[in-house]
Amino acid sequence: MDWDPEEVRQLTEEIPWIRDLYLYPEVGSTNDVARDLGDMGAPEGVAVLADAQTRGRGRAGRSWWTPPGRAIALSLLVRPRRPVADWPQLGMVAGLAAVEAVQGIGCPAGLKWPNDLMIPPVIGEGPSLTAWRKAGGILVESFPPAFAVIGIGINVNISPEEIPPDLREILGSLSQTLGRRIPRLAVLKGLLRAFASLYLEWNAGARLVERWAAALIMLGRPVRVLTPEGACEGIAEGVDEGGGLRVRLPDGRERRFHAGEVSLRG
Ligand code: BTN
């Protein structure tokens, strides 16, 4: 494990919102560890970081791969004072924080609805947005009214050969795009700082929906939305207050999506 426990501990001093940071060489899922801490009464601001996960989870029941030494697997415990109806917005808070952290190390970044962290395959050649790859994701698990766990995964130093060939155009990592090894601590520090600041704003009542919409890479573009009921194509026009995606269909009607997989079309 190349996380330096002392450097990681130092983050709790630099970022006062982080009350405690538990570092593990390997866990099943950091979200499960954070949930157990929440059940035991741990306070808001407790963070769980693992070098590797053996049963990492993604959205929609998918698995999430966290190989040792090369990614960030982080879960944050929050006890929001905002109404439970607003808690789905925690995904926006975390998505924005992930974008800020990645931009902070000099890599362009945006979000694919709802909260996939997307980066270009290379810097400087102006690759089209359809070529952007997923370098991270957010999994919010809520246990209202007591607490929620916000899981954030970022591929930092994963090389293309490690990614299955059929996923190489879809998944990326910061080191692939920037063409150099990236210090995970710098990304983690930026992520924790950005999250703490955005969360404090949000918990005090701020509206983040416009900032989140501005980070979405597909607004104004043709998209295909895949739902369990089938596929649907149209122009992604905007988002609603709750984060739902508004799509203008070819027949002029508007459809709103609250779940599903979106891909950019051309
Ligand atoms: C997704 O895009 O599907 C969400 C991926 C979320 C992965 C992170 S890694 C840290 C935390 N622990 C997990 O098991 N999942 C989240």
Among 139, 154, 167, residue to substitute to test ligand 1 (most atoms within 8 Å of Cβ): 139
Atom of ligand 1 nearest to the CA of 56: 14
Q: Is the CB of 48 under 6 A from ligand 1?
A: no
* Secondary structure, 3-state, the chain: CCCCHHHHHHHHHHCCCCCEEEEEEEECCHHHHHHHHHHCCCCCCEEEEEEEECCCECHHHCECCECCCCEEEEEEEECCCCCHHHHHHHHHHHHHHHHHHHHHCCCCCEEECCCEEEECCCCCCCCCHHHCEEEEEEEEEEECCCEEEEEEEEECCCCHHHCCHHHCCCECCHHHHHCCCCCHHHHHHHHHHHHHHHHHHHHCCCCCHHHHHHHECCCCCEEEEEECCEEEEEEEEEECCCCCEEEECCCCCEEEECCCEEEECC
Percent of the chain past pLDDT 70, that is, above it, reads 98
Tell me the mean pLDDT in the region 209-226.
95
* Candidate from 121-135, 156-170, 178-192, 215-229 with smallest mean pLDDT: 121-135
Q: Is the whole-model pTM more than 0.75?
A: yes
